[in-house]
Amino acid sequence: MNPVRVPRPSVWLLAALFLACAGSLPEGVVVRIGGEEKSYEDFDRYVMEVLDVDASRSSSDVLSRLFERFVDDQLLLRWARDRGFADETATSHEAAASLLEASPPDISTTDVERYYAEHRSDFQRPARARLRQILVEDRASAELAVAELEAGVDFGEVARIRSIGPSAPDGGFQGELSREDLPGALADVVFALEEGEWSELLEADYGFRIFQVERFLPDETLSLQVAAPSIRSRLVAERSEALIRQAIEEARREYNLRVAVSRLPFEYSGPYRAPATE
């Protein structure tokens, strides 16, 4: 007697049987991580916390990015709670802080030196002017400021008293600015001044301005010693982000993540469309 051959089920049939056994998410639920469920209302509250507006007032692109962050935050929280990094009342930010406190990124001197060598062009700085500004509303106020400067009053003091600009409390200090940082016509005026000299009155849409160059700084490449603190901060930030992403990826693999994309009332275009979605 010939053996009876039983046809093998197709891949699609097996997938359908798996989904049937797994069961669909309860009504109103858009995310399930293990046995923990989140509704669209939970996501709407999340949007309100981030943007201070409800989700209905945001675009699909914005909501897609926020929904990805929302799911990632829930994954991180579940992962952190199961490992004792966070309790039930903790936020995702608190969970991330606890994780980084327990496993702080270790940045060595060699790491800093290697980054400096590989990104040396990032630490090149063009010629710059240390610049101050007096901003006033009308010509009468501008001429009064000029008279005080000509009488020998310090430029920074006149700026503190007369200027209406946001930098007035700092004596009108604008920072160290290169030609590329300034509009073309203004750059020509500033870089034609001598150190300590102030400009003529410059009319603007919102009043009159006077600039002073405190001093000029030559083009330079920051030394390793000067650049090291910013490099270290950058590497700490990069490795902290990588550690958190690693925890989220581990949570994605560990928990039975299900996302009901079809229940989202916007066109979702993020990474949670497949495969663990319905």
Q: What's the CA gap between 201 and 150, in Å, rounded?
A: 13
- Say what the pTM is: 0.67
Residue 31 confidence (pLDDT):
94
% pLDDT > 90, the chain? 79
Q: Indicate whether 75 pLDDT > 80.
A: yes
Tell me what the mean pLDDT of segment 146-164 comes to: 95
Domain 127-218 is of which CATH architecture? Answer: Roll (3.10)
Express as a percent the part of the chain with pLDDT over 70.
90
Higher-scoring residue by pLDDT: 1, 117: 117
Q: Mean pLDDT lowest for which of 11-15, 75-79, 113-117, 150-154?
A: 11-15
Q: How confident is the model at residue 272 (pLDDT cuts 50, 70, 90)?
A: confident
Q: Quick one: average pLDDT of 189-195?
A: 96
Tell me: pLDDT of 277 over 80.
no
Average pLDDT, rounded, for the chain: 88
Per-residue confidence band for 276, with pLDDT thresholds at 50, 70 and 90: very low
> Is it the case that residue 60 has pLDDT exceeding 60?
yes
Residue-wise pLDDT for 205-251, tens only, equals 889 999 999 999 999 999 999 999 999 999 999 999 999 999 999 99
Separation CA 234–CA 70 (nearest Å) = 25
Same fold: 25-124+223-278 with 127-218: no
pLDDT at 193: 96
Exposed, middle or buried: residue 57 (CB in 10 Å: 0-12, 13-18, 19+)?
exposed
**Residues 189-198: what's their mean pLDDT?**
96
| Preceding omega of 265 cis (within 30 degrees of 0) | no
* pLDDT, greater one: 264 or 19: 264
Domain boundaries, the chain: 25-124+223-278, 127-218
Domain 25-124+223-278, architecture per CATH: Orthogonal Bundle (1.10)
Q: What pLDDT shows up at residue 278?
A: 52
- Comparing CA positions, the residue from 152, 104, 126 lying closest to residue 218 is 126
Please say if the pLDDT value at position 173 is more than 60. yes
Q: How far apart are CA 119 and CA 14, in angstroms?
A: 52
Nearest to 268 by CA among 31, 48, 15, 32: 31
